[in-house]
Structure 1
Amino acid sequence: MAKVSVSLDAELVVEVMVLAGVGNPQDAVELVVRDYIARGHRTEARVAEREESARDVEIKPEAQQG
């Protein structure tokens, strides 16, 4: 897999390391990015599920009055 180098503010990286409970800056940032991507996929799946459910709902005609 190709690698990319990115410069980040040291305080930001330290905070990510603490929150992720990881001692290596590279691993901590990678965990955050992977989590962000996974959340995006879960959100997409929920939206698709809702849209699919909405299509499956059958609209019943109202009973005629009179």
Structure 2
Amino acid sequence: MNGKAERVIRTLMEMWHNQHIFSDSKDRKQKLKRFINFYNTVKPHKAIFGKTPYEFLEDYFNHEV
């Protein structure tokens, strides 16, 4: 599990933190919220077959048992 957390942090730094200039901590928090929404609902992930995390979970919970 530790490797996955490290990967998320690295992605966060590469795709979000290093790409923005923040005017203050409120601005940073607001932009972080927008990035997390993008990351979970828009950005396809190779590890989950090109789906977004939201799509993957939606499929998982809607799967007939």
Q: Same fold (TM over 0.5)?
A: no
When the two structures are superposed, what TM-score results if normalisation uses the length of structure 1?
0.34
If you compute each CA radius of gyration, which structure gives the higher value, 1 or 2? 1
When the two structures are superposed, what TM-score results if normalisation uses the length of structure 2?
0.34
More helix by share: 2
